[in-house]
């Protein structure tokens, strides 16, 4: 009998098929057992009718523990009483393997710590399944966007000899008889890539040894970092705005069912259209003051400030031209106001905070060197980076988008730890 995936069951109404999967839940009465079968592509109710299958099979089904792996052969029928519109009328039951112990995750509620300890099993649940599917679609959308727009994927190394923005937040690893660090950004390499290939992006894991215990932080997360030659800050903002609209639209088109499972308010996502408001840091500051924040000029926004600032908008906002002192050394100085850096942050609506950080890069050799010295960074590790300014320096800009924060926003989940299969956090290294 042909093996059919539950996702495709609608194409086989009236046919006899075999489903293979795990027992998600069951209910029974004297004559019937309802087996909820899960195969990773969906869940379907399979009906075991005692008079047809006999007492022995009925008893096996009636006593079957959660997460037993099995094959069920039977006829697919259309049924409005089923959640997905179809059922399997079972004719044959084949147990592949019984659990050797009681499955720890029951259909009832559990605490976060418990579920995180069983992350490898938690991924089997409906909600986690839906999140991982949206993650997949988001990744596909990101790659498609850059592919359609003529970018070349150019991945950055994970072992790096030097810090991008200082070493305090880097994970140090042994590298033969010397030290290396796990990358916290591929950006500097992407700048080299932009000079080689014009439009490039990298997409990979990044590592930050920040001792942050908040809903927005992971020590290992995935970042998409495009870098483009010959675009300035305005061009950069055009790009990030267009990009974010595209990926949100794609998820809306392809993941309706998943968003429904996650009870995401899709009307909020449908409003994500260009243009996004662009505020200078000074304008954002004035606005925060109007709203009654005690925010101090010259500092970065706190979580509350971000929430306050984004509350009056239905789309992400872009805050640009930040005080130089709080931005990284590679950001270009604003020619019109030397106290500002040409950086931009995109803040997601609904309190999800910063999802993008980017900007125009310093392309003047002397200026860049000054900034490196100001930060007290050694010259030697940045010689190759300075070469980019020596050999035909060029206007260029880029940004980094945090995959998990973006996914948390799109799916409406409250914590980024559910936005990655196996999260790494300050207090968690396993499973």
Partner RNA sequence: UCCCCAGUAGCUCAGCGGCAGAGCGGGUGGCUGUUAACCACUAGGUCCGCGGUUCAAUCCCGUGCUGGGGAGCCA
- Binders of RNA among residues 183 to 222 (CB under 7 A) are 185, 208, 210-219, 221
Closest separation between CB of residue 407 and RNA, Å?
10
Closest separation between CB of residue 195 and RNA, Å?
21
Q: Does residue 236 belong to the site contacting RNA (CB under 7 A)?
A: no
Rounded to the nearest 10°, the torsion over CA 305, 308, 313, 315 is: 50
Among the candidate windows 28-36, 230-238, 279-287, 331-339, which touches RNA by CB under 7 A?
28-36
* Strand stretches in 176-326, DSSP E: 178-182, 199-207, 220-229, 278-280, 317-323
Closer CB to RNA, 30 or 336, in the complex: 30
Interacting positions 263-302 with RNA (CB under 7 A)? 299-302
Interacting positions 329-368 with RNA (CB under 7 A)? 345, 353-357
Q: Does residue 31 belong to the site contacting RNA (CB under 7 A)?
A: yes
Closest separation between CB of residue 208 and RNA, Å?
5
The SS3 call for residue 255 is: coil
Q: Does residue 27 belong to the site contacting RNA (CB under 7 A)?
A: yes
The SS3 call for residue 403 is: helix
Q: Does residue 306 belong to the site contacting RNA (CB under 7 A)?
A: yes
Q: Which of 95, 58, 97 is nearest to 73 (CA)?
A: 95
Q: Which of 115, 128, 101, 99 is nearest to 23 (CA)?
A: 99
Which residues have CB under 8 Å from 228's CB, separation 6+? 194, 198, 199, 200, 235, 236, 239, 396, 397, 398
Beta pairing, strands 43-49 & 86-97: parallel
Structure tokens at 188: 């500097």
Kindly write out the interface string for residues 32-71 of this chain, putting x where it contacts RNA by CB under 7 A and - elsewhere: x-x----------x-x--------------xx-xx-----
Residue of 93, 116, 180, 194 interacting with RNA (CB under 7 A)? 116
Q: Does residue 251 belong to the site contacting RNA (CB under 7 A)?
A: no
Among the candidate windows 5-13, 23-31, 133-141, 264-272, which touches RNA by CB under 7 A?
23-31
| CA dist., res. 131 & res. 264, Å (int) | 11
Closest separation between CB of residue 390 and RNA, Å?
26
Which residues have CB under 8 Å from 114's CB, separation 6+? 104
Q: Does residue 111 belong to the site contacting RNA (CB under 7 A)?
A: yes
Closest separation between CB of residue 392 and RNA, Å?
27
Q: Does residue 107 belong to the site contacting RNA (CB under 7 A)?
A: yes
Interacting positions 311-330 with RNA (CB under 7 A)? 326
Interacting positions 155-184 with RNA (CB under 7 A)? 165, 169
Closer CB to RNA, 116 or 142, in the complex: 116
Q: Could you tell me where the DSSP H helices lie in 48-125?
A: 50-62, 112-117, 119-122
Closer CB to RNA, 334 or 354, in the complex: 354
Q: Does residue 304 belong to the site contacting RNA (CB under 7 A)?
A: yes
Q: Does residue 390 belong to the site contacting RNA (CB under 7 A)?
A: no
DSSP assignments along 306-367, one per residue: HHHHHTT-SS-EEEEEEEGGGS-TTBPEETTEEEEEEEEEEEETTTTEEEEEEEEBP--HHH
* Total of residues contacting RNA (CB under 7 A): 71
Question: What contacts 24+ positions apart, CB below 8 Å, involve 113-119?
Answer: 116/417, 116/423, 116/428, 117/431, 118/431, 119/421, 119/422, 119/423, 119/431
Q: Does residue 83 belong to the site contacting RNA (CB under 7 A)?
A: yes
Residue 59 neighbours by CB distance under 10 Å: 12
Residue of 82, 152, 167, 393 interacting with RNA (CB under 7 A)? 82
């Amino acid at each position: 009998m042909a093996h059919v995936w539950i996702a495709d069951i609608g194409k086989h109404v009236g046919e006899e098929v075999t489903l293979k999967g795990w027992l998600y839940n069951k209910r029974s009465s004297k004559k019937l057992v309802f087996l909820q079968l899960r195969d990773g592509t969906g869940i379907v109710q399979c009906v075991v009718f005692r008079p047809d299958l006999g007492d022995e099979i009925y008893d096996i089904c009636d006593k079957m523990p959660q997460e037993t792996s099995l094959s069920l052969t039977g006829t697919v029928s259309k049924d409005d009483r089923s959640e997905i519109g179809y059922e399997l009328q079972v004719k044959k039951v084949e147990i592949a393997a019984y659990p050797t112990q009681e499955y720890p995750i029951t259909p009832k509620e559990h605490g976060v710590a418990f579920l995180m300890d069983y992350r490898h099993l938690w991924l089997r649940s409906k909600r986690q399944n839906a999140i991982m599917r949206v993650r997949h679609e988001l990744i596909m959308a990101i790659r498609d966007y850059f592919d359609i727009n003529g970018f070349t994927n150019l991945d950055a190394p994970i072992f790096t000899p030097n810090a991008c923005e200082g070493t305090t937040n880097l994970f140090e690893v042994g590298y033969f008889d010397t030290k290396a660090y796990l990358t916290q950004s591929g950006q500097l390499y992407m700048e080299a890539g932009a000079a080689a290939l014009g439009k490039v992006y990298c997409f990979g894991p990044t590592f930050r040894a920040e001792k942050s215990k908040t809903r927005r932080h992971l020590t290992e997360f995935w970042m998409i970092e495009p870098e483009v030659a010959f675009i300035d800050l305005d061009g950069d903002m055009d790009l990030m705005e267009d990009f974010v609209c595209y990926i949100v639209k794609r998820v809306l088109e392809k993941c309706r069912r998943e968003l429904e499972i996650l009870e995401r308010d899709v009307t909020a996502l449908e409003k994500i259209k260009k243009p996004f408001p662009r505020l200078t840091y000074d304008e954002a500051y004035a606005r925060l003051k109007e709203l009654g924040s005690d925010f101090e000029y010259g500092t970065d926004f706190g979580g509350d400030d971000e929430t306050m600032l984004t509350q009056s908008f239905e789309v992400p906002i872009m805050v640009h031209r930040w005080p130089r002192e709080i931005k990284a050394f590679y950001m270009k100085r604003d020619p019109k106001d030397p106290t500002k850096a040409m950086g931009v942050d995109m803040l997601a609506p609904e309190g999800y905070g910063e999802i993008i950080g980017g900007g125009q890069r310093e392309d003047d050799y002397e200026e860049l060197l000054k900034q490196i010295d100001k930060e007290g960074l050694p010259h030697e590790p940045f010689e190759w980076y300075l070469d980019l300014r020596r050999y035909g320096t060029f206007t260029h800009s880029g940004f980094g988008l945090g995959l998990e924060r973006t996914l948390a926003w799109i799916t409406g989940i409250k914590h980024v730890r559910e936005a990655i299969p196996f999260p790494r956090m300050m207090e968690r290294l396993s499973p």
